[in-house]
Amino acid sequence: MPDPVTEQNRRSWNAVVPAHVSHRADEAAFLRQGGSTLFPEEVALLGDVRGCRLLHLLCNTGADSLSLAARGAIVTGVDLSDAAIAHARALSVASGIPATFVQADVYEYLAAAAAANTRFERIYAGYGVICWLRDLTAFANGIAHLLAPGGRFVLMEFHPASNMFNADWQLAYDYPQGGQTLTLPGVGDYVGAADGGLSPSGFLPGVRDFVNPEPCTLYRWGVGEVVTALVQAGLRLHVLREYCYVNGERPFTRMVATPERRMYPPADVPAIPLMYGLAVEKDTSDG
């Protein structure tokens, strides 16, 4: 039987996808003309992906997946949301950039791919992934099984330390840990709230005042728990970086944007880690 929390989260994502898409001007033309939705941080951690079989987990509506494919990777994108995958497939056709998109719960996909002896040289997940994982150990083990010897998993993620603050930069919450659940009214229209930070193809007003009718449940994990799960799965930590800015999103008030779509705290707020990135690798002798 499907996990009931996961099914409810799927409904919440299906509800918000049209609002997110409504703020992005002609993404297909943007990608077709050589545009990319990727940020320099994940590009650097992934390295040269030309010719690599690349799995993009929790790929959302597919623009990052197609940006990776345009860099020469052979891409498979996986996401829970039917609406997100339908959009990703249509975007692939409209942009002329080939990629395979699969609608599935991430744990079911990892298990099925392992059973089929599927292997990837790169696996990537980024920006708002960890909070949807109910089981870090199973996720890490699944990645370890699918990585080819010498392969690399890259994660770009919002720093859990930033979740300790409310929108006005006031310390208000405990540090996330232990997979504690957090139920919210629903996935919000963060693309609209980013005011162009997540719309490199061009920002459109789109849907206004979106209210998600479907609640969702998140899981709260710390950085140490993420790294430990990956290392205990047999993967070697290559790099762990923390950044005192965030790419694209505007989770706090008065954020200062740069032309590169980086969002910094205002001058009166001390620098705190808002984002982190890591790369782990599978030993070349590990089949």
111-151 tens-digit pLDDT? 999 999 999 999 999 999 999 999 999 999 999 999 999 99
So what's the pLDDT on residue 285? 82
The tokens for 270 are 């001390």
Instruction: State pLDDT tens for residues 162-196.
Output: 999 999 999 999 999 999 999 999 999 999 999 99
Domain ranges of the chain: 4-281
Query: What's residue 179's pLDDT?
Result: 98
Regions of the chain with pLDDT less than 50: none
Domain 4-281: CATH architecture, name and number where available: 3-Layer(aba) Sandwich (3.40)
pTM for the full predicted model? 0.97
- Give the pLDDT of residue 2: 79
